[in-house]
Amino acid sequence: MSVEIEDKRGNRRGGGRAARVATRMAPLADDLRPVRAGLSGGQYNPLTEAGVLRIHEAALDALEQVGLSQAPATGVAAMVAAGAVQGDDGRLRFPRALVEDMLAKAARGITLFGRDPRHHLDLSGTRVHYGTAGAAVNHVDPVTGDYRPSTARDLYDAARLAHHLDNIHFFQRTMVCCDVPDLIEMDLNTLYACLAGTTKHVGTSFSDPAAVAPGMELIHLVAGGEAAWREMPFVSLSNCFVVPPMKFATESCETMEACIRAGMPILLLSAGQAGATAPAPIAAAIVQAVAECLAGVVYVNAIAPGHPAVFGTWPFVSDLRSGAMSGGSAEQGLLTAGCAQMHRFYGLPGGAAAGMTDAKLPDMQAGWEQGITNVMAGLSGLNLVYESVGMYASLMGFCPEGMVLGDDLIGQAQRCVRGIDVTEDAVSLDVMKAVCLDGGPGHYLGSDQTLALMQTEYLYPQIANRMTPKDWDGAGRPDLLTGARRRKETILQMAPLQVPPEIDRAVRAKVAIRF
């Protein structure tokens, strides 16, 4: 219970651990929480101003001199009509004036909508949001260490977890529905598993252009009609419109065109691998990714000027000893942060990957790799940090307990992004004088200032353990994985379907849903 004690001046004040705990546990309004979606980053700049300009110029040179091949006929027609030049070799080349014109038309300051307004994502400026992606083909059990093929039910459960983890701001598929062999049926199960699990913004993809029409029919059912959907599009297309190096992905481009016509925001995703499908130098890998995404900006705005699109430079790292991907490396953090600087240079909403790990299970390696890259991405002001939780074995495995642990980790990353609030009250000496002079208590534990800031200035982890060794031993030596599994199971036991029952029945009447 709360206890009142008398300080050396005879003033009575609240005291005792119970009072402090009660204060800390009281709910806060969203705008008072120590971390929240959309905190502004941009404090970290791995590139100098001169470096940014050199990358920009090199990207423009690449578009003029190398260009891209293999666009579908419809895309070629649109881009040539806008000013691109198709050479005798079939490659499209992009004059600088065309790129600059399309950059001027490109959408800025866009919002990615959730079905619940609390989950709208403001992508203006350097506002940072953390979420998922990765499309692993395995579900990971961190206790047994077993990897098994992932299922539609696994994906639905991951979406339900994401819905109830505050520091995960949007949800894109974490796993492939390996139990659904038909590609179109798999795309529809993927889309519905995400929408059924969360009202946060959802990113999806279509393996076949033929899946777009039934996918949009499903989305319209959930939205309450096409008009409602177009007013608040709550799903974006994650579209690998290029196959690095410097080639359009023909079928993906056809899918992108269909989704633009359907009113869906586009993530223009370029995912080269440095030393394999992108140049080995970190700067040159960024050049290629920027060039490819600038071509995407031309493509989208040639079809629909101002259509919402995210500049998705996602270059990955190779371990050059083997050629294998190394998603958890410091180099990956530099690539992602450098790409964020380029997004800021163009003033475009940007997304890239961070938070992956090469570790196979949630262990120390996973912790340092996920922590380093997520903090670097946030501090660089990246609007959308994809793959930030749960992704193991260089995107081959997804671990739900890892997602729960990652929610804690991202909270700490966001606290770094928020930085230090230097206000007149924060640096005032009044409290210091009251504590240190004239018989003050000699500590700040019970001061009004400390109690007022317990929730707003400081972030408390859900799973991470801050006990003393003695208390930890007395509590049975709890470990992180046990705590994460307990929280996962608690969430899944209470997490309901996020679509109305009548809509769920209508969807299942049209599509063979596997969960």
pLDDT at 422 over 70: yes
- Residues 401/364, Cβ–Cβ less than 8 Å: no
Q: What is the pLDDT of residue 22?
A: 58
Residues forming beta bridges with residue 317, ordered by sequence position: 274
Sign of CA dihedral 36, 38, 43, 47: positive
Query: How many angstroms separate the CA atoms of 391 and 481, rounded?
Result: 16
pLDDT at 237 over 60: yes
Tokens of 276: 């394999």
Cα–chain center distance at 219: 22
Q: What is the mean pLDDT of residues 37-46?
A: 96
Query: How many angstroms separate the CA atoms of 72 and 81, rounded?
Result: 14
Q: What is the mean pLDDT of residues 363-381?
A: 97
Q: How confident is the model at residue 23 (pLDDT cuts 50, 70, 90)?
A: low
Q: What is the pLDDT of residue 10?
A: 41
Q: What is the mean pLDDT of the chain?
A: 94
pLDDT at 111 over 50: yes
Amino acid occupying residue 368: W
Q: What is the mean pLDDT of residues 128-134?
A: 97
DSSP 114: P
pLDDT in tens, 161-172: 999 999 999 999
Cα dihedral 199/201/203/208 (nearest 10): 60
Query: How many angstroms separate the CA atoms of 179 and 421, rounded?
Result: 50
Q: What is the pLDDT of residue 2?
A: 37
Amino acid occupying residue 52: V
Query: How many angstroms separate the CA atoms of 328 and 314, rounded?
Result: 14
Tokens of 248: 């359009």
Tokens of 265: 């925001």
Residues forming beta bridges with residue 238, ordered by sequence position: 267
Cα–chain center distance at 330: 18
CA distances from 261 to 27, 179, 264, 266, 515 (A): 43, 31, 8, 11, 30
Q: Which residues contact 213 (CB under 8 A, 6 or more apart)?
A: 258
pLDDT at 7 over 50: no
CA distances from 481 to 40, 141, 344, 404 (A): 31, 11, 38, 9
CA distances from 469 to 249, 250, 484 (A): 55, 59, 20
Q: How confident is the model at residue 322 (pLDDT cuts 50, 70, 90)?
A: confident
Q: Which helix (H) or strand (E) holds 27?
A: none
Tokens of 18: 């119970």
Q: What is the mean pLDDT of residues 81-104?
A: 98
CATH homologous superfamily of 104-419+496-510: Trimethylamine methyltransferase-like (3.20.20.480)
pLDDT at 94 over 80: yes
**Strand bridging mode 127-130 / 316-319:** unpaired
pTM above 0.75, yes or no: yes
Of residues 375, 376, 414, 410, the one with CA closest to residue 390: 410
pLDDT at 288 over 60: yes
Q: What is the pLDDT of residue 13?
A: 45
Q: Which residues contact 84 (CB under 8 A, 6 or more apart)?
A: 92, 93, 94, 95, 98, 298, 302
**Strand bridging mode 92-93 / 85-86:** antiparallel
- Residues 360/391, Cβ–Cβ less than 8 Å: no
On the CB side of 237, CA atoms within 13 Å amount to 32
Query: How many angstroms separate the CA atoms of 450 and 444, rounded?
Result: 7
Query: How many angstroms separate the CA atoms of 503 and 515, rounded?
Result: 15
Of residues 388, 393, 296, the one with CA closest to residue 59: 296
Query: How many angstroms separate the CA atoms of 436 and 225, rounded?
Result: 65
pLDDT at 347 over 90: yes
Count CB-CB contacts under 10 A for residue 291: 30
